[in-house]
Amino acid sequence: GDSVTQMEGPVTLSEEAFLTINCTYTATGYPSLFWYVQYPGEGLQLLLKATKADDKGSNKGFEATYRKETTSFHLEKGSVQVSDSAVYFCALRGDYKLSFGAGTTVTVRA
Amino acid sequence: SAVISQKPSRDICQRGTSLTIQCQVDSQVTMMFWYRQQPGQSLTLIATANQGSEATYESGFVIDKFPISRPNLTFSTLTVSNMSPEDSSIYLCSVEDNYGYTFGSGTRLTVV
């Protein structure tokens, strides 16, 4: 079945550091891929998505590229801020439903 | 994107009782999804609710424990029945819209 393997944290960074969170997937066909973010005490928000190979999703300075050859969708941000502290979830849409990775807790220190 | 109103936002319940969680969407949707997020864990799909038919449950979840209603295309309820402390989690509803999947704000359930 469909599955998502996500780099587990926690990850602690200093402000303005580069962030990468690895995500790989197993699925039949070509699923849509997502990154969701959960800020402390808040609900789950869509951060970015990509629907086909080589698509790049971007939002709030975050980027992720759909790599079919490596079945990956790694999340990157060039310069993180304290406000980026959150839990990040990689997910894929197989058939009609989402499958989530384990989540990565990111803490950014000033 | 769709706007989902989920309630209650939190509750503390006695073991052996039941809690019904409601989700209202501001547009008509074919499928609504119910997830559980146990403390410090990822989201696990409980079931998919279609209007006019019985919900489809994922492995490990059963209708007797998590009965679902879907009376129309904008509303659904999830009941957590005969609760035990192991049911303490955040429960979320979700719908698919033009942007992806939108989630309700969640119901934080504590069973004592």
Q: Report residue A7's pLDDT band, with 50, 70 and 90 as the boundaries.
A: confident
CA A72 from chain center: how many Å? Answer: 10
Q: For residue A45, list chain B residues with Cβ-Cβ distance below 8 A.
A: 103
Amino acid A95: pLDDT = 80
Rounded to the nearest integer, the mean pLDDT of chain A is 94
Which of A42, A97, A101 lies nearest to residue B42, judging by beta carbons?
A101
What are phi and psi for residue B74, nearest 5 degrees? Answer: -125, 5
Query: Is some CB atom of chain B closer than 8 A to the CB atom of A101?
Result: yes
- Residue to mutate among A6, A97, A99, with most B CBs inside 10 A, is A97
A44: chain B residues, CB-CB within 8 Å? 43, 92, 103, 106
Q: Encode pLDDT of A12-26 as tens digits.
A: 999 999 999 999 999
pLDDT of residue B97: 85
Mean pLDDT, residues B102-110 taken together: 96
Range 46-105 of B in CB contact (< 8 A) with A: 48, 92, 94, 96, 99-105
How far apart are the CA of A26 and the nearest CA of chain B, in angstroms?
17
* pLDDT (0 to 100) of residue A74: 98
Per-residue pLDDT of A63-88, as tens digits, reads: 999 999 999 999 999 999 999 999 99
Query: Are residues B105 and B9 in contact, defined by beta-carbon separation less than 8 angstroms?
Result: yes
* Bridging pattern class, strands A104-109 and A11-14: parallel
Q: Name the nearest CA neighbour of B10 among A41, A54, A104.
A: A41
pLDDT tens readout for residues B20-71: 999 999 999 999 999 999 998 899 999 999 888 899 999 999 999 999 999 9
Q: Locate tokens 């119901």: which residue? A: B107
Contact B43 A102 (CB under 8 A): no
Interchain pair A43, B33: CB under 8 A: no
Residue A42 has pLDDT above 90, yes or no: no
**Where do we find the tokens 């993180």?**
A80
Between CA B109 and CA B77 the distance in angstroms is 15
Output the pLDDT for position A30. 87
Tell me the residue ranges of DSSP E strands in A1-110.
3-6, 11-14, 19-21, 23-26, 32-38, 44-50, 56-59, 62-65, 75-77, 86-94, 97-100, 104-109
Ranges A27-31, B61-65, B77-81: which has the least confidence: A27-31
